[in-house]
Structure 1
Amino acid sequence: MTLWITLRNLRTRWLATLITLLAVSLATATALVVPLLSRQVERGAQDAAQVFDLLITAKGSPSQAVLSSLFYLDVPIGNLPYSEYTRLKADPRTGRAVPLGFGDNYHGLPVVGTDPTFFEQRLKPGAPPYFRVRQGVMFNRPFQALLGASAARQTGLKIGDTFKSAHGLEEHHEPGVEEEEHDATYTVVGLLAATGGPIDRAVVTPIESLWRIHGQLTPESRGVTAVLYTASRLNDLYSVAQQTNARPLAQAVFPGQVFAQLRGFVLQGQAAYAGLSLLMLLLAGLTVWLSVHASGLERARSVALLRALGAGRGTVFGVVLLETALVVVLGLGLGVLLSLGLGQLAGGVLGARLGFSLPAPTLEPALLLRVLWLFPLGLLAALPPALGAARAEPTRNLA
């Protein structure tokens, strides 16, 4: 009977119920969506870079080195002399030294110069190669190109097609500004399997292609933007990194350490956002209280009728609390679903801009606790109106 009365009251006051539901659900979604999205980006970035042990670049910002050389999202710091690369490659502690070269684009897609050792990288020993040719063949001479999965879809190029790259890291769209297109013609020889990482939106070619295009015809004139380094043993990795950082031209960067630093900055921003979320949840709690208080004034006559028909004070008290509990629970549920939907939608958009896939949003217990305390807060807000309704004399409102 109590549930039937509660549902009838909520249906009678549908507009006030809807407003309260919206307030609770929007406050819940606001508290969840940014932390959800930031964790998606964090997990996606770590997944995309987990194949790389150590990154060696010219001296500069470690975060810029990672963003430019691993994610193709920033301007490279500069080039290392080719002699630095050959020194690393010849080091007996080296398991693999993969050169990277940047500087050109094709319709905004980065042209990545490297060599076949790029396709020997694995997540762990014994695992299959992380980067694979899905269709076609591996390049074996300059000006052959492999297209990442997203790059192939975006450009529409197929095996056997030809194209010319342009100077710079991005496509220019300013009126009157023409692309500085190179004379050399690339031929597509293969399509890469999708990885969900930045390589999906890249054009991969032998690094000799970039050296020839930019007139670097002798070893003394050549440069490499970065080196993806793997040591034969774990201890060697740290010793090589230490010695590299002691040299005047190069720096060794562990991508995991950079992610940890960036995560610290993100957490600082999330702390400020958590304050805003708390304010939104408090406002939602106030909305619940106002709704219950206003409905208490409206239900005075119906409560008097219930009491006159024999309903006890406990029944009246329970009806008011149950109304509030149902509204808050429904609002929390809608807010959680809304936050997951927004996280999925924003993750797809943001992932396309960042160049790597973001995992689906997941709600962890610690994150849910940020909003679940709105339930006891709502019940607490309903206590004074519920007590007032239970103590009201029925004869006063039946006249």
Structure 2
Amino acid sequence: MTLLALAWANLLRDKLAAALNTALMAIGIATIVLLLLFGHHLEERMRGDAAGIDLVIGAKGSPSQLVLSAIYHADIPTGNIPLAEAQRWAEHPMVRTAIPQALGDSWRGFRIVGTTTAYPALYAAGVREGRLWQAPGEATIGAAVAASGLAVDDSFSGVHGFSPEGHVHGDSRYRVVGVLAPTGTVIDRLILTSVESVWAVHGTAEPTDPEITTLLIDYATPFAATTLPRLVNSQSQLQAAAPAVQTNRMLQLLGVGIDGVRAFAWLLVVSAGLGVFIALYHALEARRYELALLRCLGATRGEVLISLVIEGVLLSLAGTLLGVFVGHLVAELAGQWLGFAATEGLTGWQWLPAESWLLAYGTAIGALAALVPAIRAYRRDVTAVLKSA
């Protein structure tokens, strides 16, 4: 009988203990895998949504709020800014492109964004059906909006604010002229129209002092990163916020909570390792005569030690592999159930480099847990054991 077969046979002798230790290890590993997948997905989404946008210019207020509302469309805008002042910065020599946004309305929770056709180009969003908006009152919708029931040639009225219970602009309706292909970015959840359409809905079709909400800036030169934000913040009543800086700050804040859950998951893994240690320690006492007979039949001290270490490795490896599988399965099911697989790009069928280290760590914990009982068996005097029988 090989050492591997011997270790496997010993584990099957106490199936309940082996199952409990494997399950505990699997729960901890699955939790860590879920955190890795969701954390990776969140970071990819946040950086992808901000790609191509070097600076956001808007009304004074919180820089994080400005970035959240203008790029991720996940907060209330800080206010409106004069179009003339925005154009001043849009025409600055350090600016390559400037995309305006007029925000403030929504439809069933999906935000209506008055902008230019340069906005969908930021996310390489092609038209799946119909076309991009052209005339006032026309709208092109993202893939997630289309999935909610809107289609080409449908018409709808926007709601003031971002709550479905807000005031309905019933006297002004948009007509859907196109649907964008899914991109896995924030644009999938938006309703796009012209800035003039937003002005018209609010009764300012020909405003004397037109306003927009934000300006999305792409630098013409790397030197602008150190100069333009300072100029905007010091020489105007506007505010400039760098998405890269604010995104990193938000990811760090989210990371604090994720790290806490990850620490708890590692505690479960270590507890599983302790369970392996206790199980093998007690099994060693129960099998001391059996191990002594193995020595008498020709097994060396090293072979006895290795067989016990293999038991620990098998337990931890089984728990680790099961945990990795369950973690990926839960992530995939969550993406499908929440509808994020198609529109958000959330999937469990991806392998992250950190998971390779997770497999190594999980297996090592089992090996270390088995090492103390194995060393004790290695040092035990066979003659003394047999005499006490």
The question of a shared fold, defined as TM-score above 0.5 by the shorter chain, is answered with yes
Give the number of equivalent residue pairs: 383
1:82 maps to amino acid = L
Q: Hey, what's the Cα distance between the residues in 1 that align with 2:336 and 2:71?
A: 20
Deviations 1:306-363 (A, max 9, x none): 345444444333322221121122222222333333444456678849x743476543
After TM superposition, the structure 1 = structure 2 runs for residues 278-317 of structure 1, keeping only pairs within 5 Å, are 278-307=266-295, 309-317=297-305
Q: Which residue of 1 aligns with 2:322?
A: 334
**Residue segments in structure 2 that go unaligned for 5+ positions in a row:** none
Task: After superposition, give the CA deviation of every residue in 1:35-73 in whole Å (9 maximum; x if it has no partner).
Answer: 442222112210122022221111111111111111111
Q: What does residue range 1-399 of structure 1 map to in structure 2 within 5 Å?
A: 1=1, 2-121=3-122, 130-155=124-149, 157-172=150-165, 180-236=168-224, 238-307=226-295, 309-346=297-334, 352=340, 356-358=344-346, 362-365=351-354, 368-369=356-357, 372-390=360-378, 391=380, 392-393=382-383, 395-396=386-387
User: Retained in 2: the 8 A contact 1:43–1:359?
Assistant: no
Query: 1:153 deviation in Å?
Result: 1.4
Change (3 A) 1:137 1:36: closer
CA contact (8 A) 1:281 1:371 kept: no
Distance 1:312 1:377 in 2: 25
Give the partner amino acid of 1:291: A
Contact 1:24 1:332 in 2 (8 A): yes
| Identity, % of aligned positions | 31
What's the CA shift string for 1:99-120, capped at 9, x where partnerless?
A: 1111111121111111233345
Alpha-carbon deviations, 1:10-57, whole Å to 9, x = none? 222221111111122222233443244222211221012202222111
Residues 363 and 140 of structure 1: is their aligned pair in 2 closer, same or farther, counting only changes over 3 Å?
A: closer
Please give the alpha-carbon distance, in whole angstroms, between the structure 1 residues aligned to 2:252 and 2:180: 34
Whether the 8 Å CA contact 1:304–1:395 is kept in 2: the answer is yes
Aligned equivalents of 1:95 and 1:312: distance in 2? 75
Bigger shift: residues 208-217 or 28-37: 28-37
Tell me the TM-score normalised to structure 2 length: 0.87
Deviations 1:147-199 (A, max 9, x none): 111111112x2222222222221323xxxxx7534321211111112221111
Separation in 1, partners of 2:160, 2:259: 42
- How far apart are 1:219 and its partner, in Å? 3.4
CA separation in 2, counterparts of 1:51 and 1:348?
29
Q: Does structure 2 retain, via aligned residues, the 8 Å contact 1:144–1:187? A: yes
Q: Is the 8 A contact 1:288 1:324 kept in 2?
A: yes
One-letter identity of the residue aligned with 2:238 = A
What secondary structure does 1:70 align onto?
helix
Distance 1:185 1:334 in 2: 53
Contact 2:52-2:218 within 8 A present in 1 as well: no
